[in-house]
Amino acid sequence: MTASPSASLRLGAYLRAAGSMLISLAATILGLLLVTFIIGRVVPIDPVLAIVGERATEAQIEAARVALGLDLPLWRQFLIYAWDALHGDLGQSIRTGQPVIEAVARHFPATLELATLATILGVIAGVPAGVLAATRPGSLADHVVRLVGLMGYSMPVFWLGLIGLLLFYGILGWVGGPGRLDAVFDMMYEFEVTPVSGMILIDTALAGRWDMWVNAISHIILPAGLLGYVSMAYISRMTRSFMMNELSQEYITTARVKGMPEWRVIWVHAMRNVLVPLITVIALSYAYLLEGSVLTETIFAWPGLGSYITDALMVNDMPAVLGGTVVVGVAFVLLNLFSDLLYRLVDPRAR
C-alpha cells in the first residue's frame, strides 16, 4: 500500500523542517563554543601561570603550555576544545583539579530547581494578572497590574533579596535563612537521602522525608518568590499586550454578538491565540532565570551554577567559568528549541 501524494509531501516538509532545525541547533552550539573559546584566549589571565604558579621556572611553564596544547595553532586549539566539549569534557578546574562537568552536574540542579519554581509562580500570577488588566483597560485593576509590573522591572533583585531576608527571615521569621536546608537537615540529607535528581524538593519527596521537604520549602520560597515576581512582571506585561491585541479582532466581536459567555471568549478563543507568542515569552523568562540568578544565589547562599561561576571568577578559574557558561548557553538554546516545537504543536499554521 503506497502513501498518498499529500502524505508524502507532509513527510518531506517535516523532514526538511527537522533537518533545518538540527542544522540551526548545531550552528548555534558551535558559535557558542567559538565565543567561549575566544573569551578564554583574550582575557588577561594566563592559564599556565594559574596552574604552575608564578614561581615556576621557564621549563616548567613551557612543559605545562605543551601539555595544555597552547603551543598549537589557534584553529587546532579550537577544534580540540570543541571536540572535547561535545564529548562532555569541559576541562579541569584550576581551583580543585576536578573535571568541570562533574562540578556543573552537582550545582546545576539547584539552579534548575530554583528557576523552575520561580517560573511556575511567575506564570500562575502573571497570566491571570495580564488577562485581568487587558479585559479592564484603564481601570484600577489595570493600573495596579501595570504598577506592580513596573516595580518588578525597576527594583534591583539584590536589593529585594536583602530586604526580603531582613523582613521575612530576620524580623518575622516566616522563612528559612540562606542555603537550601537548615544545618541539621543538611547533614542528614547527605547520609539519608539518595540524590536522584539533585533537586532537594524531589529527592526528599521520593525518600518520604516530608520534614526535610517542608524545611526545604521554607528556604526556597523566598528566593523563588523574588525571582517569580520578576518573571511575573514580564509575563503579565506581555500577556496584557497580547490579549488586548486579540480582543480587538473581528472574530472576538463575532463571538460576543453570537451571545457566547465572556469567560469563553477570553479563556478559550482569545487565549488560544495568545498562547502562541506567550510560550516564547515564558521560555525566554525561564532561560533568563537560569542564567541571570547569580545575584540571587549569592545573596541566599544558594549552591547553584551562578554561585559556582561567580566563585570561580573570583579566583581566576577560567575553565570553570567557561564550562559553566557553555552549560547555561546550551540550556538557553535547548529551551528555545523546545518553545519552537511547542509553538508548532499549539499553532497548526506553523506546522
Question: Do residue 134 and residue 225 come from a single domain?
Answer: yes
Mean pLDDT of 282-301: 82
**Does the pLDDT at position 2 exceed 60?**
no
Same domain, 114 and 221: yes
For residues 114 and 183, membership in a common domain is answered with yes
More confident residue, 187 or 215: 215
Check whether 302 has a pLDDT greater than 50.
yes
Same domain for 111 and 74: no
Residue 37 CA to residue 319 CA, distance in Å, equals 10
Instruction: Tell me which H or E stretch contains 256.
Output: helix 250-257
E-only strand ranges, 43-179: none
Verify that 230 and 277 share a domain, yes or no: yes
What's the whole-model pTM score? 0.83
Q: Is residue 97 part of a domain?
A: no
Same domain, yes or no: 24 and 129: no
Residues 112 and 82 occupy one common structural domain: no
Instruction: Give residue-wise pLDDT tens across range 229-259.
Output: 989 999 999 999 999 988 888 888 888 888 8
pLDDT of residue 125: 93
Between these two residues, 220 and 80, which has the higher pLDDT value? 220
pLDDT value at position 218? Answer: 92
The mean per-residue pLDDT over the stretch 143-160 comes to 85
**Residue 95 in domain:** no
Could you tell me if 257 and 325 lie in one domain? yes
Where is the domain boundary, 29, 51, 86? 86
pLDDT at 172 over 90: no
- Supply the pLDDT for residue 335: 83
* pLDDT beyond 50 at 127: yes
Does residue 199 belong to any structural domain of this protein? yes
Average pLDDT on 125-134 reads 92
- Residue 192 counted as domain residue: yes
Q: 213 and 67, same structural domain?
A: no
Q: Can you give the pLDDT at residue 1?
A: 47
Q: Is residue 5 part of a domain?
A: no
Average pLDDT value over all residues in the chain? 83
Q: What percent of the chain has pLDDT over 90?
A: 15
Length of the chain: 351
Residue 260, domain member (yes or no): yes
pLDDT score of 13: 67
The answer on 124 and 223 residing in a single domain is yes
The average pLDDT across 160-171 equals: 88
Residue type at 36? T
Domain annotation covers residue 141: yes
**Residue with the larger pLDDT of the pair 139 and 154:** 139
DSSP state of 43: S
Q: Are residues 122 and 259 in the same domain?
A: yes
Count CA atoms within 13 Å of residue 237 on its CB side: 15
Do 138 and 179 have their domain in common?
A: yes
What CATH number is given to the structural domain containing 172? 1.10.3720.10
The answer to whether residue 289 scores a pLDDT higher than 80 is yes
Please check whether residue 2 lies inside any domain of the structure.
no
For residue 68, the enclosing domain spans 14-86
Q: Show Cβ contacts of residue 235 under 8 Å, excluding neighbours closer than 6 positions.
A: 122, 123, 126, 127, 130, 278, 281, 282, 285
Count of structural domains within the chain: 2
Residue 177: enclosing H or E segment and its boundaries?
Answer: none
